[in-house]
Amino acid sequence: MSAKINIAKIRNNVGAKEDFAFDITEDDVTVEGWQIADRLKVEGTVTNKDGYLLLEGKICGELIGACSRCLTEVREKIDESFAEKLLYKADTSRFSDLAFGELEEEYTIYDGDVFDFTDLLVENIIASLPSKVLCREDCQGLCPHCGHNLNEGQCDCVFEDIDPRLAILTKLTYSD
Ligand SMILES: [Zn+2]
Ligand SMILES: [Zn+2]
């Protein structure tokens, strides 16, 4: 299923509320670089605030990613609140003194009876995830030669360090 709510009922009724609760799985949304562990729970309320609809709720669950250095599985729990003001497209005319761009900064403009907030959920999920994924702060990563996980100890690869003084000589030789 996707994240959709029918708002036709509450749109013309100030103070009216509608609760929603559903699960989203890997089949419903794609979060770049991550996989949803089992399911994410989404629940919340949409309320008619006289002029706009306030959509607020929570997303809870766990996602599976990979350490950016050693590729080990990393599990990240999320418990993220979200809130968004929804403005019916026909109602934007009330704000004739405001530029459409300014309106869009404050509101999500929607049309029709059903609001699909799948994209909004994905944005919130991404915002709650770390931008740099590490299995631990001091992860040693993989050996660039043999791919051995250096957190499990050194490999047998030998790296030849070039003496910096020799490096300068090499440079001189080739730079005319
Ligand atoms: Zn790692
Ligand atoms: Zn190695």
SS (H, E, C) 107-149: CEEECCCEEECHHHHHHHHHHHCCCCCCCCCCCCCECCCCCCE
- Distance from the alpha carbon of residue 88 to the mean position of ligand 1, in angstroms: 46
Same domain for 16 and 91, yes or no, is yes
Given a cut of 70, is residue 163 above it in pLDDT? no
Question: What is the distance, to the nearest Å, from the Cα of residue 78 to the centroid of all Cα atoms in its chain?
Answer: 10
Same domain for 151 and 123, yes or no, is no
Same domain for 115 and 159, yes or no, is no
* pTM as predicted: 0.76
- Distance from the alpha carbon of residue 139 to the mean position of ligand 1, in angstroms: 5
User: Out of 23-37, 126-140, 159-173, which region has the weakest mean confidence (pLDDT)?
Assistant: 159-173
Q: What is the mean pLDDT of residues 45-61?
A: 95
Number of domains in the chain: 2
Residue 21 φ/ψ, nearest 5 degrees:
-155, 130
Same domain for 134 and 145, yes or no, is no
Same domain for 103 and 146, yes or no, is no
CA distance 162 to 171: 12
Instruction: Summarize pLDDT for 81-119 with one digit per residue, the tens.
Output: 999 999 998 888 887 777 778 888 899 999 999 999 898
| Ligand located closest to 152 CA | 1
Same domain for 148 and 77, yes or no, is no
Given a cut of 70, is residue 161 above it in pLDDT? no
| Ligand located closest to 144 CA | 2
